[in-house]
Structure 1
Amino acid sequence: MAEIDALRGFALLGILLVNAAMMAGPYGLGSVHDPGASALDRTVEGVLQTFVVGKFYLMFSFLFGYSFTLQLAAADRAAARPVPRLLRRSLGLLALGVLHAVLLYVGDILITYAVLGLVLVAARGCSPRAARRAAGLLYGCTSALMLLVGSVSLFLSDAESADLDAELAADFPGLTAGYRGDAAAVLRTNLDQLPDALLASLLMSGFVLAAFLVGLYCGKLRLLADAAVDRTRLRRVCLLGAAAGLPGGLFMALTASGPLGARWTALGQVVGMVTAPALTAAYVCGTLLLLRGPRGARLTALLAPAGRMALTNYLSQSLVMALVFTGYGLALYDRLPPAVVTAGACALYGVQLALSTRLMTRFRYGPVEWLLRAVTVGHAPGRERGGP
């Protein structure tokens, strides 16, 4: 269980880096080419595109599916019916996700988890083989569809692609004014952006659900248990995943932040998303190798507390960034370069690691984890260590 928490704690860094870039300004991560971006800006965004974007939300999704099997086991130990518990948990996640999307960050993932988590509830009795086959089918169909759609942009001329970029960028002044305005303006802007954000979540739901099912498969077979997978197999998956995933991430970076024209951007994003699961697998297996290595205990002690309160940390990341970038606080939206935003995100992650270690020394749950568990089990659990 400590390794699962450590993996979740590591995933928090990738989630934070991407969300910080997206919350910092309208040109986040090259979705539209920024004519004013410096060479350093493009380099930072290129590194994030290659190594981070699309990889860590899949790691979280995989761990969500794996943890689902732990939820089932907990219900069994408590002699409780699992379905009511799991439905209450999904409802709690949905409520948190809606509040998060409206108040703080429209790129919320909790709404997607709450809805797609119902599929896990329905599939809880499936065999590991069925879960693996369903994941493969979902991944294949989603990849084929997205590659087809992404390839359409290649038939556009450079001028037509530039016109589309200009049309999207025409909305940026209003977006910037909204996020730099007062609290009411920030709320209105979030609500205006929410339909597009939900559509983007829908487009990615095939990959998310596939990752859920891979996690379910691994959880049913206990493949992340300490002695379940030998180091040779972990090393092989790590190397193969990196070999398959890094070229796709690099291609995405070259289209979004590099020399390729705007008409390549959509295809580059799709290729990056399709190859991201391979790099995610490499990250999971590589992290497990480190956790089981000579310094593994120290690394686990560093990362696991943050992973145990991952939901609290995820939401608090958005709160801090909303205070920095929107009219809730400093209103620095579209005022900081990517290098500064990335450095600030790393600093925030370091603070979260330290605070999580202190809190988890005393408490069994983070604040939001305690609330969600109370909703899940139907009563208030003890918060301090040693409590009921």
Structure 2
Amino acid sequence: MQTSESRYITLDAMRGFAVMGILAMNIIGFAMPEWAYITPAAYGGETFADRMAWLFSFVFIDGKMRGLFSLLFGASLILITERASSNGESAAHVHYRRMAWLAVFGLVHYFFIWYGDILFLYAMAGMVAFQFRDWAPARLVKWALIIFGLGLVFWGLQFGGLQILQYMATQPDASADLVRQYNDVKASPGFNFDIPAQVDLHRGPYAQTVADKLTDWPALFGLTVMSIAETLPLMMVGMAMNKSGFILGLWSPADYRRWAWRLVPAGLIATGLLALWMIVSQYDAITALAIFFFWGAIPRLMLTIGYAAVLILLTARFGGSPLMSRVAAAGRAAFTNYLGTSIIMTTLFYGYGFGLFGEISRLGLWAYVLMMWGVMLSWSQPWLQHYRYGPLEWLWRSLARGQMQPMRR
């Protein structure tokens, strides 16, 4: 479904849903210590209501919105490079300038605003994904699954090995050497929640939070390496979805319903079983990490693609409604909404702003999510009625093009 302005409302609306949905998980990172995102046992899981809030987010949201962003990034890569070629420009020149500036935005975001950045990761993965732009859809999907599978093997060996060690070391007849190894793992910095220090850091002055990230700069590159085996394949699937017409809304409603029924119920059941495993383990840290990186990867992939099919059906059904138009506008300004959310939320929760870090329950954080959704839906459409791009979209485009782009309509 394409508008008169050569934009696909399907892409815009899906991007709008994704930028809104990703806040529902990022809010934990904004408002609580980092480990709270992995397990409610670390922080914010004291009450039944908070655990239910965790359960809802874990089953329906966690990782799926980020996955949609990755699909859309790959789909947009094809659109932008094809447009550049049709205009007589070098697709490589246009793409790599965009990725270079996206990496700069990501570095600024990570070091000076919020540590939960995905822009640098997307820039790095996007540079690799460009090499596959001429591949046929079937080849893109095939190699995406191969790369995804290699990532699963890596995480399975690491966290599956930890789970085996945990099981063997907690048996009544466990050897002293196994118990020592297990205790060493639990006492390592990687499994230290360090909640008081995290709370003090984020309630402190701005210079303190920046200095901490500058000191721990390798963490950004470690996160990129850890995430690329999932992000790059999703971008490649998004490229295939563009070439096949899937993500552009060009398939029949019956096809989208078929894919939704194939993937969403099974993905939700599998994710629900993983949530039950977490609960039975009493939100154990090793179990939580294994689920996050390994066991949850395939259900997350299923739901990401299944959600895409559902959202395309919703867009086709309600594309002309006022609410869907506002969601699509939020998607057109997704870059501004994403970075703007980080600025607003860190101002609310960090010590240099209102200092609410660690003060709001998981359930209570939904009030802030709904508030920010209201902001996104309120400003994006009126702005885009007068301007061609969101503010940061315009800045990114101007920097990548090397000249000021026309802004007013």
Alignment check: 8 A CA contact 2:247 2:308 kept: no
In structure 2, which of residues 42, 46, 51 is the aligned counterpart of residue 34 of structure 1? 42
Q: What is the RMSD of the two structures over their aligned residues, measured on CA atoms?
A: 2.2
Question: 1:354, CA displacement in angstroms?
Answer: 1.0
Q: Is 1:301–2:325 an aligned residue pair?
A: yes
Match of 2:346 among 306, 317, 322: 322
Counterpart pick for 1:176 among 196, 199, 202: 199
The answer to whether the Cα contact below 8 Å between 2:23 and 2:369 also exists between their aligned partners in 1 is yes
What is the letter of the counterpart of residue 271 of structure 2? Answer: G
Deviation at 1:384, TM superposition (A): 1.1
Change (3 A) 1:369 1:193: same
How far is 1:169 from its partner? 4.0
1:353 — aligned with what? 377
1:142 equivalent in structure 2: 151
Corresponding position: 1:114 with 2:137: no
Which one of 343, 358, 368 corresponds to residue 344 of structure 1?
368
Describe the SS at the equivalent of 1:292: helix
Is the 8 Å Cα contact of residues 9 and 319 (structure 2) preserved in structure 1? no
Say if 1:47 and 1:253, in contact at 8 Å, map to a contact too: no
Residue matched to 1:364? 388
Q: How does 1:191-270 map to 2 (within 5 A)?
A: 191-192=214-215, 194-226=217-249, 228-256=250-278, 258-261=279-282, 262=284, 263-269=286-292, 270=294
- The one-letter code sitting in structure 1 at the alignment partner of 2:9 is A
Look up the equivalent residue of 1:51 and give its one-letter code. F
| Residue 279 (str. 1) matches residue 303 (str. 2) | yes
Selected match of 1:331 from 345, 351, 355? 355
Q: Matched residues in 1 for 2:92 and 2:136: separation?
A: 18
Alpha-carbon distance, 1:193 to partner: 5.0
Give the direction of change, closer, same or farther, for the CA distance of 1:140–1:189 in structure 2 (3 Å limit): same
Bigger mean CA deviation after superposition, 306-315 or 23-32: 23-32
Question: 1:248·1:271 contact (CA, 8 Å) conserved in 2?
Answer: no
Q: Figure out how many residues of one structure are paired with residues of the other and give that number.
A: 382
Aligned partner of 1:6 among 4, 10, 13: 13
Give the SS at the match of 1:202.
helix
Q: Match of 2:358, SS?
A: coil
Provide the residue aligned with 2:208 in structure 1: 185
The 2-side partners of 1:32 and 1:251 are apart by 17
**Cα distance change, pair 170–121 in 1 and its aligned pair in 2 (3 A):** closer
Mark the CA change 1:197 to 1:31 in structure 2 (over 3 Å): closer, same or farther: farther
Aligned equivalents of 1:236 and 1:366: distance in 2?
35
Give 1:197 deviation, angstroms: 4.5
Shift of 1:238: 0.8
Where does structure 2 lack aligned partners over 5 or more consecutive residues?
1-7, 171-178
Who is 1:20 aligned against?
27
Of 89, 92, 95, the residue aligned with 1:86 is 95
Give the direction of change, closer, same or farther, for the CA distance of 1:176–1:139 in structure 2 (3 Å limit).
same
Give CA-to-partner distance per residue, 1:73-111, whole Å, 9 cap, x none.
Answer: 221232211111111101110000000000111110000
Spell out the pairing of 1:85-104 with structure 2 (5 A cutoff).
85-104=94-113
TM-score (norm 2): 0.87
The question of whether the paired residues in 1 share the 8 Å contact of 2:326 and 2:380 is answered with: no
Deviation at 1:271, TM superposition (A): 1.6
Give, in whole Å, the separation in 1 of the partners of 2:311 and 2:211.
Answer: 41
User: Residues of 2 paired with 1:296 and 1:118: CA distance?
Assistant: 33
Q: Which sits farther off after the overlay, 55-64 or 325-334?
A: 325-334
One-letter amino acid matched to 2:386: R
Are residues 161 and 4 of structure 1, via their aligned partners in 2, closer, same or farther at CA, if it must alter by over 3 Å? farther
Cα distance in 2 for residues equivalent to 1:161 and 1:12: 40
Q: What TM-score comes out, normalization by structure 1 length? A: 0.92
Q: Give me the whole-angstrom Cα distance separating, in 1, the residues matched to 2:370 and 2:217.
A: 27
Does the 8 Å contact 2:42/2:193 carry over to 1? Answer: no
